[in-house]
A = this chain, B = another copy of it.
């Protein structure tokens, strides 16, 4: 059963790999090369889908200096249309709604094949910014332009830790048409369990079936990457930071950490009856960290399907 069907049926148990499109400054022929290399490398994994991020300069959200400089990246919808048309699985395209005018988003949503493209609409990074389109407007617009298009939203366990009402936000987004949620990178398994738990029991109380929650994981190969994770808003527990800082092999320690966290969340969701997905990315562009994230996806697919694909 493919990704769109699994989400429509609220089945979950799928594994995605998330990519950031190449930089805008990349020459077109080099973009095509990158896309070919990426597809060649990811095909053997047997992924259920890809995720394409839409990177916004989040300096409005976080005034502290970005550990890695911001470089504008290609529009993920354009990257999909031009370079990933022969990719075999459905693709989840992020749309930072503040970046687009109404007709652009409407036209794009209307033109998508709902069996091939899904979309996660993301609000403006800071409530201070005045976006062209609000998240609620964008969701309504996309839904009207293409009623079969599966729309997702973001879920942030860290916000639940601070405010305690993220599960209510998820229910409100679900009422507005969201069919799945994707978290930011998870390092604090307790925060993720708190959110899933509150969401599950709120659904039960409201007589609503929970939709898949997709947990995102990334390895971390250096203290610089850890600093970037924190900058992105990821809560990294002290003990994990200490373990990574003092590990002989930080990347390997982080790999095992991510695997353990994912395994714990899968078991927890299965016990609670909440459908789930797993999404693997590398927040770093260093080759060793990307390699480790690919290996993490391979291992998690093996775990979920009860088999381990050959390395």
Contacts and interface: CB of A to CB of B under 8 A. Distances in A.
A168 interface: no
Contacts of A303: none
Binding site of A, secondary structure by majority: helix, strand, loop or mixed? Answer: helix
A4 B125 CA distance: 57
Interface string A236-248: 0111001100100
Interface string A145-178: 0000000000000000000100000000000000
B193 A237 contact: yes
Nearest to A194: B238
Interface residues on A, range: 10 to 19
A143 B242 CA distance: 34
Interface string A176-220: 000000000000111001101110110010000000000000000
A237 to B, nearest CB: 6
Contacts of A243: 197
Contacts of A164: 238
Contacts of A246: 201, 204
Contact of A239 (B190, B204, B242): B190
Given A197-B243, A198-B238, 12 more contacts: A164-B238, A193-B239, A194-B238, A194-B239, A196-B239, A198-B239, A198-B242, A200-B242, A201-B242, A201-B246, A204-B246, A239-B268
22 contacts: A164-B238, A188-B190, A189-B190, A190-B190, A190-B237, A190-B239, A193-B237, A193-B239, A194-B237, A194-B238, A194-B239, A196-B239, A197-B239, A197-B242, A197-B243, A198-B239, A198-B242, A200-B242, A201-B242, A201-B246, A204-B246, A239-B268
